[in-house]
């Protein structure tokens, strides 16, 4: 498991921060929260909420990789250490140590937030949630043999043939297109 935070500037020149968690094995992303002022208590509460959301799956977490930012406090770490998770702070100036989270930030920026004029917190949360849903349910990943994180248990990704019809679904107002086979 890894966690990180990135910022998005709105059209009204306000900076908002997005906290997310990503599972290393499946590349599944969970958006924890959006805030204007990330603080230690806010981050700790988001960690509690995330673990409650996971339920019994939280026991399968072994490590949590995080940055050395001031909003990742000792109380944030204690939430995970209480269930037996070893918290690993990334070394200073070593972004490759948290490469999977950094890669997701880059994808989210390139494919969604840099292409939309964000107006505020609700709009940002909607855009990031929609992109995370696209990432988890549809976007193929090389490390998962061209499957989406929610399709890891499927044997093979579907292949198109000339007899199948293809349906297109637009997401984020047509910014992202998803294609699927129609019987």
Burial class for 172, CB neighbours closer than 10 Å (0-12, 13-18, 19+): middle
pLDDT at 178: 75
pLDDT at 160: 59
Dist. CA 126–CA 139, nearest whole Å: 18
pLDDT at 162: 64
Beta pairing partners, 33: 19
User: What is this structure's pTM?
Assistant: 0.85
pLDDT at 64: 95
Listed as ranges, residues in the chain with pLDDT below 50 are none
Kindly compute the dihedral angle of the four CA atoms of residues 68, 71, 77, 80, in this order, to the nearest 10 degrees. Answer: -120
What long-range pairs does 108-113 form, CB within 8 A, spacing at least 24?
108/6, 108/132, 108/135, 109/6, 111/175, 111/176, 112/172, 112/175, 112/176, 113/8
DSSP-H helix ranges across 73-120:
74-81, 99-111
pLDDT at 155: 62
Dist. CA 98–CA 66, nearest whole Å: 7
Domain extents in the chain: 2-153
pLDDT at 133: 92
pLDDT at 156: 65
pLDDT at 183: 60
CATH number of 2-153: 3.30.420.10
Q: Which of 105, 111, 102, 54 is nearest to 79 (CA)?
A: 54
């Amino acid at each position: 498991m890894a966690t990180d935070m990135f910022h998005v500037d709105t059209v009204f020149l306000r900076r908002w921060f997005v906290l997310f968690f990503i599972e290393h094995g499946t590349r599944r992303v969970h958006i924890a929260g959006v805030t204007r002022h990330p603080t230690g208590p806010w981050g700790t509460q988001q960690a509690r909420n995330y673990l409650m959301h996971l339920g019994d799956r939280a026991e399968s977490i072994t490590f949590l990789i995080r940055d050395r930012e001031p909003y990742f406090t000792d109380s944030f770490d204690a939430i995970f250490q209480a269930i037996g998770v070893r918290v690993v702070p990334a070394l200073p100036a070593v972004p490759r140590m948290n490469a999977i989270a950094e890669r997701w930030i880059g994808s989210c920026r390139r494919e969604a937030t840099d292409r939309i004029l964000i107006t505020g917190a609700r709009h940002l949360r909607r855009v990031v949630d929609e992109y995370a849903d696209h990432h988890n349910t549809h976007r193929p990943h090389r490390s998962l043999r061209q499957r989406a994180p929610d399709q890891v248990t499927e044997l093979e990704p579907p292949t198109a043939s000339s007899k199948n019809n293809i349906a297109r679904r637009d997401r984020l107002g047509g910014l992202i297109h998803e294609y699927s086979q129609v019987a």
